A and B are shown apart, each in its own frame.
Chain A
Amino acid sequence: MSDARVQGYAKALFEVARAEGTLDEVEDELFRFARSYESSDELRTALSDEGIPAAKRQAIIEDLLGGKATPTTTQLVSMVVGSGRARELPAIIDKLVARASSSKNLAVAEVRSAVPLTDDQQARLKAALANATGSEVNLKIVVDPSVIGGLVATVGDTVIDGSVRTRVDQLKSRL
């Protein structure tokens, strides 16, 4: 899929969410769904399989998000999957998040952690990253057990890695 098409979908989703007045919530839900999609082979296979009818793939989305996410989020994901663009869903959502953050003059800060962060921790981390990068950030927390411990923050091209996984990898590399 071309970058222009990804941008087009992202813009469309962004405009729908903003029109519905749920941009922040939808953006956050889509971001988490995209990370789940990336981490689940089964989900990727099910949603991107052209052999499975679109209605059935959309039904899977309904089962997954129905009642757990806003209707707007569910409908947007269902729309993308029904259009046969499930493979590009993470890219589309990342563009959407970037566009939403940009509209608020924020930089997207994706933080991976082995365990969920408390609200207080998120607030302090947000302030710390803003201090470190020199710009306000739109914090996106991804719970990733492969991190083992600590955090990995990515802000644009800057990666701040304080994860146990990286230390273990470095130790294994030295060994």
Chain B
Amino acid sequence: MNAVVATLFAADEPIDPSRSTHWLFPVRAELLFGSIASILVFAVLFKFGWPLFQKALTDRTERIQSAMDESETKLAEAQTEAAEIRSAAGDIDAERQRLFTEADAEAESILRDGRVRLDEEIAELRAAAESDIALIGSRASGEIRSEISMLSRRAVDRALTGQALDDATQQELIESFISKVGAS
């Protein structure tokens, strides 16, 4: 704004050759020397500074790359380790599952064997009990039968001893015998 104002108001002032009339560019000599100086500076900077800069950039790139490589390596290692851990965890789970399965199978087997043995023992005990009951029953029945038989025989003997059949009965028996033999 000040420059524009200054330009507007300076139109009427005399021109100074040591001073540029352009609001932006300097006078030619200044521009020339300034450009050369700048080129020299840039050349020096390119000659000596660029390699340093490039080296620093390369080093930094290498460091970054190295860091990235290291990171990748560590990442890979971490992933490997994680895989191993997961594998180990998986193995542990599998082992645990296997152990559980084996334990379940063994428990089931023991339970099954136990039930079988229990059933067998129950069957044996039941058979023995039934045998004992049958034996006792048979013995008791035999004793009772023997006792009844003995008492019956005694009763028969007692009923017949000293008691001859009467004559009518004797004759009836004889006649019956003769009739049956004669009819045969």
Chain A interface residues (CB < 8 Å from chain B): 113-115, 117, 121, 124-125, 127-129, 131-132, 145, 148-151, 153, 160, 162, 164, 168, 171-172, 175
Q: Is the CB of B165 within 8 A of A149?
A: yes
Residue from B148, B170, B176, B178 having most chain A Cβ neighbours under 10 A? B178
Q: Is the CB of A115 within 8 A of B182?
A: no
**Roughly how many angstroms separate A148 CA and B156 CA in the complex, as a whole number?**
13
Q: Is the CB of A121 within 8 A of B178?
A: yes
Minimum-distance CB pairs A-B, first 9: A128-B182, A175-B152, A162-B177, A150-B173, A128-B181, A151-B177, A149-B165, A149-B173, A175-B149
Per-residue 0/1 for B138-164: is the Cβ within 8 Å of any A Cβ (1 yes, 0 no)? 000000000011001100100010001
Q: How far is the CB of A163 from chain B (nearest CB, A)?
A: 8
Question: Given the complex, which residues of B lie within 8 Å of A148, measured CB to CB?
Answer: 160, 164-165
What are 10 contact pairs spanning A and B, CB under 8 A? Answer: A114-B165, A125-B177, A129-B181, A132-B182, A148-B164, A150-B173, A150-B176, A160-B181, A164-B165, A172-B156
- The answer to whether the Cβ of B118 comes within 8 Å of any Cβ in the partner chain is no
Question: Given the complex, which residues of B lie within 8 Å of A131, measured CB to CB?
Answer: 181-182, 184
Q: Is the CB of B173 within 8 A of A175?
A: no
Of all chain B residues, which has the CB nearest A122?
B178
Q: How far is the CB of B9 from chain A (nearest CB, A)?
A: 170
Question: Given the complex, which residues of A lie within 8 Å of B165, measured CB to CB?
Answer: 114, 148-149, 164
Q: Is the CB of B153 within 8 A of A175?
A: yes
Q: Is the CB of A114 within 8 A of B156?
A: no
Q: Taking A148-B160, A171-B156, A172-B156 as contacts, is the C-beta distance between A162 and B180 under 8 angstroms?
A: yes
Question: Given the complex, which residues of A lie within 8 Å of B175, measured CB to CB?
Answer: 121
**Roughly how many angstroms separate A132 CA and B149 CA in the complex, as a whole number?**
37
**Roughly how many angstroms separate A113 CA and B179 CA in the complex, as a whole number?**
16
Of all chain B residues, which has the CB nearest A114?
B170
Question: Given the complex, which residues of A lie within 8 Å of B180, measured CB to CB?
Answer: 162
- The answer to whether the Cβ of B174 comes within 8 Å of any Cβ in the partner chain is yes
Question: Given the complex, which residues of B lie within 8 Å of A172, measured CB to CB?
Answer: 152-153, 156
Of all chain A residues, which has the CB nearest B148?
A175
Q: How far is the CB of B43 from chain A (nearest CB, A)?
A: 153
Partner of B178, one of A115, A124, A168, A171: A124
Question: Given the complex, which residues of B lie within 8 Å of A149, measured CB to CB?
Answer: 165, 169-170, 173
- The answer to whether the Cβ of B13 comes within 8 Å of any Cβ in the partner chain is no
Of all chain A residues, which has the CB nearest B157?
A172
**Roughly how many angstroms separate A113 CA and B173 CA in the complex, as a whole number?**
10
Partner of A168, one of B148, B160, B176, B181: B160
Q: Is the CB of A127 within 8 A of B182?
A: yes
Q: Taking A114-B164, A175-B148 as contacts, is the C-beta distance between A151 and B173 under 8 angstroms?
A: yes
Q: How far is the CB of B177 from chain A (nearest CB, A)?
A: 4
Q: Is the CB of A113 within 8 A of B174?
A: yes
- The answer to whether the Cβ of B12 comes within 8 Å of any Cβ in the partner chain is no
**Roughly how many angstroms separate A151 CA and B174 CA in the complex, as a whole number?**
6
Question: Given the complex, which residues of B lie within 8 Å of A171, measured CB to CB?
Answer: 156
